[in-house]
Homo-oligomer: A and B are copies of this chain.
Amino acid sequence: MTQLTDDALNVLFREARTHNGWQNKPVAEEMLVALWDLVKMAPTSANCLPARIVFVTSDEGRERLKPHLMEGNVAKTMAAPVTAIIGFDMEFYNHLPDLFPHADAKSWFVGNDQLIYDTAFRNSTLQGGYLIMAARALGLNCGPMSGFNPEGVTKEFFPGTSVKVNFLCNIGYGNDENLFPRSPRPDFEKFCSIV
């Protein structure tokens, strides 16, 4: 097999929706491990893997998250079986001697704060995108969000570390409750060109 079926493309892209309502059906811890085992395989720059992910699955965890959410994101997040807090480690380069043994990649970053930030933010976001795709591939649904107080979430979930939050993603088995009408998607010519 070298390319996916139409059914698979529908699951990943065409028919998948951002979910706001959730079936009362838990997501097993084994599923979260399976999710990571897919996400970790997808490419990051020099295999830097800067994402640090906290999966909130308990009521205690949700209560810690709640005060930092924008009003419109509270109810759906409290009802979601899992909320992934996707962070990025500003000291990711300390792992490069293990993660990228081909070269002295750590030396590319030490002392270059702008490059560290750009690399951590860009590559943790890529990993967040892979997480959405991997979750859908495993039969789960997602509800990604950037409407929250980042300082508050960082302080609550990554205290005393070099990790900062990037974005959140509710995960579970979705239902059609509060599903938005599908927003417009423009044709190729609108935002793409060929030279």
Residues of A bordering B, CB below 8 Å: 1-5, 7-14, 16, 18, 29, 32-33, 36-43, 45, 47, 49, 51-58, 60-61, 64, 98-102, 119, 121-122, 125-130, 132-134, 137-139, 142, 144, 146, 157, 166-167, 180-181, 183-186, 188, 191-195
Contact = CB atoms under 8 A, between A and B. Distances in A.
B195 A43 contact: no
A5 B9 CA distance: 12
A144 B191 contact: no
A69 to B, nearest CB: 15
B57 A146 contact: no
8 contacts: A1-B7, A36-B191, A45-B144, A47-B184, A60-B195, A61-B195, A122-B146, A126-B129
Contact of A133 (B36, B130, B192): B130
A11 B16 contact: no
A52 B192 contact: yes
A164 to B, nearest CB: 12
A183 B102 contact: yes
Contact of A191 (B41, B49, B134): B49
Contacts of A185: 40-41, 49
Contact of A138 (B3, B37, B41): B3
A13 B1 contact: no
A99 to B, nearest CB: 6
Given A4-B8, A12-B137, A183-B101, A166 B18 contact: no
Contact of A43 (B43, B126, B142): B142
